[in-house]
Amino acid sequence: MAFLELNLFSDSLGMASSVNIVLPEILKKSGKDEFREFKKEYPVLYLLHGLSDDHTGWLRKTSIERYAEEAGLAVIMPNVHRSFYTDMVCGKSYYTYISQELPQKLGKILPLSSKRENNFVAGLSMGGYGAFKLALNQPERFAAAASLSGALNIAQNAEKADGKEELYQELKWIFGDLKKVKNTNHDLFYLLKKLKGEKKKIPALYQCCGKEDFLYKDNLKFKNFCRKNNINLKYEEEKKAAHEWWYWDQQIKTVIDWLSVNKTR
């Protein structure tokens, strides 16, 4: 297994940025000798961090490196700070960076597959929102997406932030007029309705959340919306889980196992 810490200059951000990468090696034999080598082309999981974390969180707090090695999966963990994976109104163009610039640059220097059936995205909390946002805005690129305890109802919660000054101001810096987030490409419910209406192929979706999580009600709303609109969604919940790493470590292993079912989608 190779672990890469890559620092690159981003034109869309106008500054240097960091991304962590794990690349499994294949054990091969030649006569009595054993050796390891890299694949010619890897299936890819973009793994996104939450609001209070960064690109190191998944490596420090879960066994993602071991899970990736077992699955033969390249895992890309970028840093987007507290951007909600968005081209911020007052800030950096993180959506452009994560959706266009970063995959283009990595594809030129690493043996990563560009095929839809080999590209996946997952994340926790803010990253769960980011994962679905990327996949639903680029359904031609991603075969599957997974949200772990995701902040999925961003349009409604942005409106509710009015009166909570610190949160309101932060979301306003990101999205602009919070009353106009609904029915835009920031709104996951809108994106699903749009893809459904256009009869486009929707990526396979996996969603999970703990019943003690403060985002549980929002996750139920998203699940029920998918059920009502006959959208293919695999949903799981944990009775005693809150917003915590032991649960996400458990579930990201489940997600990677689930992805093997969707590689031919």
Quick check: is 44 in a domain?
A: yes
Instruction: Output the pLDDT for position 26.
Output: 80
- Report, as an integer, the average pLDDT of 168-191: 93
- 58-63 average pLDDT score: 98
Query: Is 218 inside any structural domain?
Result: yes
Would you say residue 210 lies in a domain?
yes
Give tens-digit pLDDT for 5-38: 999 999 999 999 999 999 999 866 666 667 678 8
Structural domains counted in the chain: 1
Name the pLDDT band for 264 (thresholds 50, 70, 90): very low
265 confidence band (pLDDT: 50, 70, 90): very low
Is 44 in a helix, a strand, or coil?
A: strand
Which comes out higher in pLDDT, residue 135 or 263?
A: 135
Whether 164 is covered by a domain: the verdict is: no
pLDDT of residue 107: 96
Of residues 162 and 92, more confidently modeled: 92
- pTM: predicted TM-score of the whole model, two decimal places: 0.94
Is residue 203 in some structural domain?
yes
Q: For residues 102-116, give the mean pLDDT.
A: 97
Domain CATH for 15:
3.40.50.1820
- Asked if the model's pLDDT at residue 108 lies above 90, the reply is yes
Question: pLDDT tens across 115-173, in order?
Answer: 999 999 999 999 999 999 999 999 999 999 999 999 999 988 877 766 667 778 899 99
Residue 170 placed within a domain:
no
User: 31: which residues sit within 8 A by CB, 6+ positions away?
Assistant: none
Tokens 């959340």 map to which residue? Answer: 209
Return the sign of the alpha-carbon dihedral for residues 223, 224, 230, 234: positive
Task: Give the contacts of 175 (CB within 8 A, at least 6 positions apart).
Answer: 84, 86, 89, 158, 181, 186
Answer whether residue 109 is part of any domain: yes
Q: 127 lies in which domain range?
A: 2-151+186-259
Q: Is 48 part of any domain?
A: yes
